Structure 1
């Protein structure tokens, strides 16, 4: 359950300062995403323990279906469903079970703080103008922030976060973080997509 609890916060990456402040445009794009009926965030997170792949479906304000897999060291896919403050988990296809109420409350609060509510950090983004990624043109924004190292210490290193906003929809399409010292290595790669008609219901136990 720990991986699931931590992974839900991936949407709310904090940042430091950048050369020019286009933060309002980035905030507006994420606000538009939050106002949509439903959306999906697919993420790959790389650290010293391996690569974590995560898919989060959201029907705001209080429904989520999350799937998490680890490249190595995990017994299989972990899933969680959150509906109206109650949560259920399915660990390595062992079957669905309701999680303790205090844990469900914690997950619901995390979702509210990191997905439903507007971010409380003071991120400042530099406008990049038109940028091309995987053959498609987006409006790009970049910031530099402190990233905690994954070596078990409390040390930090500089990371570059780039947000790619869909020019037609006006919502974030990609959110990519690389280390400043290794700009070609992605430690976080998130993809956002609208999911019209998506429904999330409690699992059948």
Structure 2
């Protein structure tokens, strides 16, 4: 039997699909709501959630992803209405974990309730006055600060809030954690976005495309 001749030439470099990690995803996938031929065509999404009932790709507590997600695995992190569910002393470790799993030139998109907006709308005579209506139902000052009370009453303790942020306070904490640049954007539901970058802001236009449709 003739021996196989060794291959000659240079193999084509392997290309990796960019990956978005949806941390604290809940039951919905983010990219399924984006146009198939839009800016995220060719991306893959990995959902991570502590509640197995949400059927995430990875069941894990995002306070410690060391055994669940590899270093540098995420080109983008999406974390919407999740940080407020942690105790305040846990936030530095959570943000450090985000930095660990981000790839070079990666970015983290974080959405949280805005205590500054809430305080400006505070009516001390009626803490249950509806500020806006969410998919989970009406939301009052008490719901924004402490978590959606109807969901907690129904037994979903994951909905309880344990800390809060303003644009300035979260940007400061992200910079302290090691993000090189942080930009904030006011949301449409008494909340805001904080976008933290490491390296260049290469995904700036992409993130702009992402934030608008995701609010709907």
TM over 0.5: no
* Bigger relative CO (Cα 8 Å, ≥ 6 apart): 1
Higher strand share: 1
How would you bin the TM-score normalised by the shorter chain? under 0.3
Higher helix share: 2
Q: TM-score, normalised by structure 2?
A: 0.26
Larger Rg: 2
Q: TM-score, normalised by structure 1?
A: 0.27
